[in-house]
Amino acid sequence: MVNDENTPRTRPERRDAAMNRQRILDTAHKLFEQYGVEQVSMNQIATEAQIGPGTLYRRYQNKGELCLDLIKDSIDLFFDDIEAYLQENETVPAEQKLKEVISSFICFREKKAQLLTGVEGTKSTNPIKSRAQSPLYVELHQILVQLFDEMIRKEQKPYLHSAFKADLVLMALSSDSYFFQKNVRGYSPEEILDLLCLTFISD
């Protein structure tokens, strides 16, 4: 097979770099499980993994990037499930699909609470900007916008400002907001889902 000279080549990861990456991820996972994401520092991870801080920071600029790498396979599976659900339920009313997507993300947040908090709550960056630029936020935002737009087309509803409403849904589901409602206000995940649907979906 002849390679097109204009096609960029993907350089394989060097063996030592791959080993360092796996050592970092294994160490971080162990420390996060033992102490919690917020209590573990990047320097602690580097020391425990027996690598220099420079090696760690060359691969991960902050703890949020490390958490994202740890959770990325789970995120891929989450979106695979969402895509499969939407394809299998094309004729279902948009409101019902929107509720199912929000419900799925609440379940995902409950299962991956610590790592998602780490992804969203990096102190070295602006949390709102970081969240808005994360692959998880971007893709989920697109899905929510599409469903809000579908409500406009199929239900003949007035203009819904879909991007704005999707932003507000995701802000309500961010770690700080979600766990404030759960742990301080005392709402269950099911009640949070119902209240979000009443706020953003119901007439």
Task: Answer yes or no: is 5 within a domain.
Answer: no
Tell me the pTM: 0.81
* DSSP string across 88-139: HTTTS-HHHHHHHHHHHHHHHHHHTHHHHHHHH--TTS-HHHHHHHSHHHHH
Question: pLDDT tens-digit profile of 2-29?
Answer: 455 554 555 555 777 788 899 999 999 9
Co-location of 117 and 172 in the same domain: yes
Give how many domains the chain has, as a whole number: 2
Domain residue limits at 109:
62-200
Q: Looking at 45, 60, 75, which one is the last position of a domain?
A: 60
Question: pLDDT tens-digit profile of 149-159?
Answer: 998 887 666 66
Co-location of 87 and 171 in the same domain: yes
Residue 43 has phi, psi (to 5 degrees) of -65, -35
Task: Answer yes or no: is 178 within a domain.
Answer: yes
Co-location of 86 and 27 in the same domain: no
Co-location of 74 and 48 in the same domain: no
